[in-house]
Amino acid sequence: MSELKIYNSYTRQKEVFKPITPGHVGMYVCGPTVSGESHLGHARPYITFDVIYRYLTHLGYKVRYVRNITDAGHFEEEGREAEDKISKKAVLEKLEPMELVQKYTNLFHWAMDQFNNIRPSIEPTATGHIVEQIEMIKKIIDEGYAYVVNGSVYFDVKKYAASHDYGKLSGRVMDELLETTRQLEGQDEKRDKADFALWKNAAPEHIMRWQSPWGVGFPGWHIECSAMSTKYLGPQFDIHGGGMDLQFPHHESEIAQSTICNHTAPVRYWIHNNMITINGRKMGKSYNNVIKLTEMFSGNHPLLDKAYSPMTIRFFILQTHYRSTLDFSNEALKAAEKGLKRLWEAYETLQKLLPEGTGEKPGDPQLDEKVKKLLLEMDEFMNDDFNTAKVLANMFELVPIINSVKDKHIPASALSQPTWDLFRRYFKLYLEDILGLKSEAQQEDGKLEGVIRLLIDIRKEAKARKDYATSDKIRQQLQELGILLKDEKDGSVTYTFA
RNA sequence: GGUUCGGUGGCCGAGUGGCUAGGCAGAGGUCUGCAAAACCUUUUACAGCGGUUCGAAUCCGCUCCGAACCUCCA
């Protein structure tokens, strides 16, 4: 089997993955700011990194997956009124800040569960790590790379850039940065426009505030991730993930802070997922084109033709490589929904097939080879920078084979027993364990099952005496209730819920 | 304006030099009392113009178009 290769945003190339500690992987992913409801755009990184987490685990690594909750609000707009995003909204909604934080954290967790994302190993909050952040800032000041002004602390980017590669991750050069950084009011405190805040003095009306050596205030945006990743993963860890939009300034600043504080580059492999776009535009608050996850699941949004289930969205996202933009449209979502249904039904068929007459030797060596190749290739695809799109394409190529065996167009003995075993094992491994898809069929209650079976029996009797009016009526009315009957080749009848 | 990344058939999307991606939709067929499903076959591509090469969607140049970042953002 080939080695796992990961596209490292820092070096802009695919690199063979080698963990720092053999057998173990430390992975940090920037989590949500819980000042509002999660939207479709948030689904992308957490599903992407969930699959990465699952795959690394499958490869045998013991993974510590840390994903933070940003509950200490950043500046609404740096330089202007240093308002805390979370505390501002809390006033509007007449809620305690932490009440708001809890509400949206709960909602976020609920959405992640809907997507079948495995919960991270550690989910630290920014407010729970103020002490660590203050300690880190102190160290940076001691190192001479930060300065205090009026109760605020700023990172000295110019000084850092003189001896370090500030801008490498985001592909920026220092001179341009100085010129192109937008001129904002009240920036006088900073020595340089490119400097960023580590700690911000809190105005009296600012609700979220903590005592620090520099006065009462709150932490800057970037320091929380550095403090928490250092605490739980060490000064240097394997993987740091997040959306591409976080590359600058967030991740660039994280690198600078951690490097000064810990005297080592914090991250070995930077992984960035691309954005979900809507009409070619990134989904985001500033564009006013946000579809919240609750709206996706309910269909209750002007842009949505219908509701889309969490698994449809998961599948939709995994059909694209994580570094490509993914364009939202009803047409694309509906296509994903149908495709997933077909794939999932074939998967269930495969698990139920009990191939008879298969032996060690395949009846159709060519087909047997083809199946094996398509299955084993999936490992190669995942190893090539987590190419879930190609994995799914191979699975779809195998669907007609499953269905043909079911319909007896192809004898089960065409494939050898070992190939059948591999087939079943890989479909389960990839669909459920690695891609994290699951059945969305409602939990059937035994009574409903019994009633449907009864109707199927009555219909069968009606058909036997060619009373098609009755048999069609049963099929038609069940369909209106969302229960689809299928007459199988062998005369049996199966049903699915629409 | 600067930096970076893209433009693939009706729609979504793989694909970094030669080998059918795949899904959805469309067309024809098989099966079926009919239907659905399934299976088989099948139409429509690589923004434009040059160049490199035996050979380019894939490399290089130019042009046009779009996006992300430079401000909170997944």
Report how far apart, in Å, the C-alpha atoms of A166 and of each of A55, A250, A258, A400 are: 32, 12, 12, 52
Helices (H) and strands (E) in chain A, counts: 16, 16
Percent of chain A with pLDDT over 90: 70
Report how far apart, in Å, the C-alpha atoms of A236 and of each of A19, A28, A128, A259, A381 are: 11, 11, 22, 9, 28
Strand B at less than 7 A from CB of A250: yes
Which pLDDT score is estimated for A225? 96
Distance CA A317, CA A322 (A): 8
- Do the Cβ atoms of A239 and A26 come closer than 8 Å? yes
Report domain extents, chain A: 5-273, 329-434, 446-497
Tokens of A212: 């620090």
Nucleotide nearest to A181 (CA to C1'): B70
Distance A251 CA to B46 C1' (A): 35
**Length of chain A in terms of residues written:** 498
Nucleotide nearest to A489 (CA to C1'): B31
Strand B at less than 7 A from CB of A408: no
Strand B at less than 7 A from CB of A44: yes
Distance A40 CA to B13 C1' (A): 19
CATH of A5-273, one of 3.40.50.620, 3.40.630.30, 3.40.190.290, 2.60.40.1730: 3.40.50.620
Distance CA A123, CA A144 (A): 31
Secondary structure (3-state) at A270: strand
Q: Of chain A residues 453-492, which have a beta carbon within 7 Å of strand B?
A: 463, 468, 471-472, 475, 484-487, 489
Looking at A30-145, which runs of residues are DSSP E strands? 62-67
Q: Of chain A residues 173-192, which have a beta carbon within 7 Å of strand B?
A: 176-177, 180-182
Q: Which residues of chain A fall short of a pLDDT of 50?
A: 74-83, 180-186
User: Terminus-to-terminus CA distance in chain A, angstroms?
Assistant: 40
Strand B at less than 7 A from CB of A273: yes
Q: Which residue has the tokens 């509007």?
A: A92
User: Based on the number of CB atoms within 10 Å of its own CB, is A103 exposed (0-12), middle (13-18) or buried (19 or more)?
Assistant: middle
Could you check whether A5-273 and A329-434 share the same CATH topology? no
Strand B at less than 7 A from CB of A325: yes
Which pLDDT score is estimated for A480? 85
Residue A466 neighbours by CB under 8 Å, 6+ apart: none
Residue lying closest to nucleotide B12, CA to C1'? A332
- Do the Cβ atoms of A242 and A272 come closer than 8 Å? yes
Nucleotide nearest to A176 (CA to C1'): B2
Nucleotide nearest to A32 (CA to C1'): B74
Residue A303 neighbours by CB under 8 Å, 6+ apart: A278, A289, A291, A330
Residue lying closest to nucleotide B13, CA to C1'? A320
How many of the other CB atoms lie within 10 Å of CB of A369? 13
Distance A443 CA to B4 C1' (A): 48
Q: Which fold has domain A329-434?
A: Four Helix Bundle (Hemerythrin (Met), subunit A) (1.20.120)
Strand B at less than 7 A from CB of A315: no
User: Based on the number of CB atoms within 10 Å of its own CB, is A464 exposed (0-12), middle (13-18) or buried (19 or more)?
Assistant: exposed
- The dihedral through the CA atoms of A155, A157, A159, A161 has a sign that is positive
Strand B at less than 7 A from CB of A117: no
Region class of A294: left (phi > 0), else alpha (psi between -120 and 50), else beta: alpha
Distance CA A240, CA A261 (A): 18
Strand B at less than 7 A from CB of A330: no
Which pLDDT score is estimated for A85? 65
Residue A297 neighbours by CB under 8 Å, 6+ apart: A114, A307, A308, A309, A310
- Do the Cβ atoms of A386 and A51 come closer than 8 Å? yes
Distance CA A266, CA A69 (A): 20
Distance CA A261, CA A263 (A): 6
User: Based on the number of CB atoms within 10 Å of its own CB, is A211 exposed (0-12), middle (13-18) or buried (19 or more)?
Assistant: exposed
Q: Of chain A residues 56-75, which have a beta carbon within 7 Å of strand B?
A: 70, 74-75
The string of DSSP letters for A108-124 reads HHHHHHHTTPPPPSB--
Q: What is the pLDDT of residues A70-112, one digit of tens each?
A: 998 643 322 233 345 666 666 665 567 788 889 899 999 999 9
Distance A475 CA to B35 C1' (A): 9
Region class of A250: left (phi > 0), else alpha (psi between -120 and 50), else beta: alpha
Strand B at less than 7 A from CB of A396: yes
Nucleotides of B under 7 A from a protein CB: 1-6, 10-15, 21-25, 31-40, 66-74
Strand B at less than 7 A from CB of A286: yes
Which amino acid, A273? Answer: N
Strand B at less than 7 A from CB of A392: yes
Q: Of chain A residues 195-234, which have a beta carbon within 7 Å of strand B?
A: 221
Nucleotide nearest to A194 (CA to C1'): B70
Q: What is the DSSP letter of A87?
A: H
